[in-house]
Structure 1
């Protein structure tokens, strides 16, 4: 019996060490994110030709609205809207073409965003594009977004991530999702950039040297997480990902727990895929001096924050009754550190919004959704779990 208690004690300490790693990583980069980055500039002597890519899967209403908005964007050079149409209705395609949009249809037995983009980029190779901007079907570019992107490439950048932020906060759950997006921006993008590390790609609001992205996509393979795969491929090539923290792309936030669970299922499946794929390679790259790649590997080991929050709460409660493992002060210290980290990472302006305090009551539902997502990741490997969108205007109080 004493041996069993010793084994359980060791297991609890191992768990404690893992959760300590999670909290330490998050809190360190949250503190780094408090420091400022240089302001982005939009002046340039050369205005490059830009391809704005909208990979679209069965979104017949939202894509028309997004294209109309994108066509109104102000830019001093040439840009073209390219809709990569997977499963769009013929009437939708006709409307898009009438608007002056280039439509590239794709047909796959199993659809993935990476394969669709790969096909489209190879179709566009002779059209003289210098920059490729990737947007989700619901995304809206902020004012002068393309001018800022062009300036970054004039300064020699090859890959960049804009500040993707909420387009809507019209429900408590959407507000909670908006907070989560900003915490990610603070920790995985701004905090990293302050230290000179690459920002993590999000999947939209990204810009690449056109030929460089084409080369990457031709080697991307079949994956549910094309943004993470691109992240690792770029890090392996030791190319920096710049973060334009003050250049905005607006993105629709999920309005309910069902959509949240479906979206997170795909995200967790992607994280598990790359943790398995790159765990060992990450340490090999570290010994080769590639800290960037190793850092990306560490991020795959981090538990989703909402699950981390729930687990730490459970560990504090169990410590009142369980004599083995770390003491209650250890667990409480981790829980306090995580809560403080989240408070630091949420934008100050959110605290003046009453929706924030209503959103706190959605956390238990989000935790349940994450647990369901955790046990449903097998579905993401069998089908393209798309998050469907609706036409939503940008809330006036969101714009900076």
Structure 2
């Protein structure tokens, strides 16, 4: 086979893979839109204030969170939930800043609030979010466990939406809410992240729930049954994306993970590329760990949810990534060398249609959020393909290399802290 034929074959692979994933995401987006319509019609019926609300333990892992922790605690204090049924556990995990001082002051001031502070040190703490959650869980008493990140400000009714949803169906092992970007107007990066998170939730979470009745737990704003965590033996302390990993094990137990977008929390997103790269690289490393952990057992899993998510992650991190890299390399080679695509056909039209499809699927998800489907955001979506999405290629490659280095060097899991602003 000549080098020219190799180029043609690689190009066809890239085109086919890209279009497959684009069309699949359009299907998810349309199903997410259908789910939104069903939720919007019945949103007044999801909270039943006549029920006997169960005891809830809220876990908040916090490592050097002096910039955001007070706002988070006050948001939890203002939740519309019976305070006698609410236990707040902040795991001050080996912090070296003023996180501990701020928490002590809040505990002294909010006297009618069941605020418990667990402080760890270098010996039992500082080993990652999973370890902090396991420490907090051991001291919790609630029938249900809710997890928020330290930079979260949940809306007042959000906890009730989570609780009323999970108690409505015994098959729900966990229920996840929706997160929004509270610093979206800070700069161009946060505006891109805002669009990305909205797209992810309505396209990947809502679309999959509507189509397949499955979701993946995010790192924050979710509720899980106490007996489920006990049966699982807690969070995997070796997983740096503990949310994805525990989702697979919940599926394996036969439970469902439900999406309740009316339960909203607002969180702070990275405001610089340096912090964004560090956070996203951690996500890639964590998801590669999950793939590696379950891939060898893929054919032994009889749970369709596990199989679907494994295939989906493989598609994102290998199929789509390789397709984008191949198409970019062929484009550059075509500009500076004699290596060209010899296939007949107007491939410029195919590329333009793929680009239009990308804009369409993201734009659909923006219509589901009040004020987000505006000309400025549509223009940003058209720029994302050439800028923000291309950065994901670098992040994915960096994450995979970093994961392999950690295995070769046998590095221990450490707390991967996202810098706050």
Could you say whether these structures have the same fold, taking a TM-score greater than 0.5 normalized by the shorter chain as the test?
yes
Q: Which residue of the other structure, out of 219, 227, 234, is the alignment partner of 1:203?
A: 219
Is 1:158 aligned to 2:177, yes or no?
no
Is 1:34 aligned to 2:40, yes or no?
no
- Residue equivalent to 1:303: 316
Residue range with higher mean Cα deviation, 343-352 or 165-174: 343-352
Question: Residues 187-210 of structure 1, C-alpha deviation per residue, up to 9 Å, x if partnerless?
Answer: 121111212421221110111112
Relative to structure 1, the CA distance from residue 83 to residue 194 in structure 2 (aligned partners, 3 Å threshold; closer, same or farther) is same
Is 1:337 aligned to 2:357, yes or no?
yes
Is 1:92 aligned to 2:99, yes or no?
yes
Q: Which residue of the other structure, out of 146, 149, 152, is the alignment partner of 2:162?
A: 149
Q: CA deviation at 1:46?
A: 1.3
Q: What does 1:235-254 align with in structure 2 at a 5 Å threshold?
A: 235-254=251-270
Q: CA deviation at 1:317?
A: 4.9
Relative to structure 1, the CA distance from residue 25 to residue 343 in structure 2 (aligned partners, 3 Å threshold; closer, same or farther) is same
Aligned partners of 1:387 and 1:291: how far apart in 2?
A: 33
- Residue equivalent to 2:52: 46
Aligned partners of 1:327 and 1:275: how far apart in 2?
A: 37
- Residue equivalent to 1:131: 144
Q: CA deviation at 1:362?
A: 6.6
Aligned partners of 1:48 and 1:83: how far apart in 2?
A: 20
Q: Which residue of the other structure, out of 71, 87, 107, is the alignment partner of 1:65?
A: 71
Q: Once superposed, what is the RMSD of the aligned Cα atoms?
A: 3.1
Relative to structure 1, the CA distance from residue 334 to residue 355 in structure 2 (aligned partners, 3 Å threshold; closer, same or farther) is closer
Alpha-carbon contact 2:17-2:323 (below 8 Å) kept: no
Give the secondary structure class of the aligned counterpart of 2:90.
strand
Q: CA deviation at 1:134?
A: 0.4
Alpha-carbon contact 2:14-2:326 (below 8 Å) kept: no
Give the secondary structure class of the aligned counterpart of 2:392.
helix
Alpha-carbon contact 2:63-2:94 (below 8 Å) kept: yes
How many aligned positions are there? Answer: 383
Relative to structure 1, the CA distance from residue 109 to residue 70 in structure 2 (aligned partners, 3 Å threshold; closer, same or farther) is closer
Q: Which residue of the other structure, out of 111, 116, 119, is the alignment partner of 2:135?
A: 119
Aligned partners of 1:248 and 1:343: how far apart in 2?
A: 21
Q: CA deviation at 1:255?
A: 1.9
The normalised TM-score by structure 2 is: 0.80
Residue range with higher mean Cα deviation, 186-195 or 360-369: 360-369
Give the secondary structure class of the aligned counterpart of 2:61.
strand
Relative to structure 1, the CA distance from residue 309 to residue 12 in structure 2 (aligned partners, 3 Å threshold; closer, same or farther) is closer
Residue range with higher mean Cα deviation, 149-158 or 78-87: 149-158
Give the secondary structure class of the aligned counterpart of 1:159.
strand
The normalised TM-score by structure 1 is: 0.84
Q: Which residue of the other structure, out of 354, 365, 369, is the alignment partner of 2:376?
A: 354
Q: Which residue of the other structure, out of 112, 119, 128, is the alignment partner of 1:105?
A: 119
Question: Residues 262-294 of structure 1, C-alpha deviation per residue, up to 9 Å, x if partnerless?
Answer: 111111112222233333433443xx3x22111
Q: What does 1:209-358 align with in structure 2 at a 5 Å threshold?
A: 209-218=225-234, 220-285=236-301, 288=302, 290-303=303-316, 314=328, 317=331, 321-324=340-343, 328=347, 329-347=349-367, 349-352=371-374, 354=376, 357=379
Question: Residues 175-233 of structure 1, C-alpha deviation per residue, up to 9 Å, x if partnerless?
Answer: 11011000000112111121242122111011111232244353624111101101111
Q: CA deviation at 1:117?
A: 0.6
Q: CA deviation at 1:15?
A: 3.3
Q: CA deviation at 1:234?
A: 1.1
- Residue equivalent to 1:178: 194
Structure 2: gaps (5+ residues): 108-114
Aligned partners of 2:326 and 2:358: how far apart in 1?
A: 9
Is 1:56 aligned to 2:56, yes or no?
no
Question: Residues 84-119 of structure 1, C-alpha deviation per residue, up to 9 Å, x if partnerless?
Answer: 111224853243134232111234576211111112
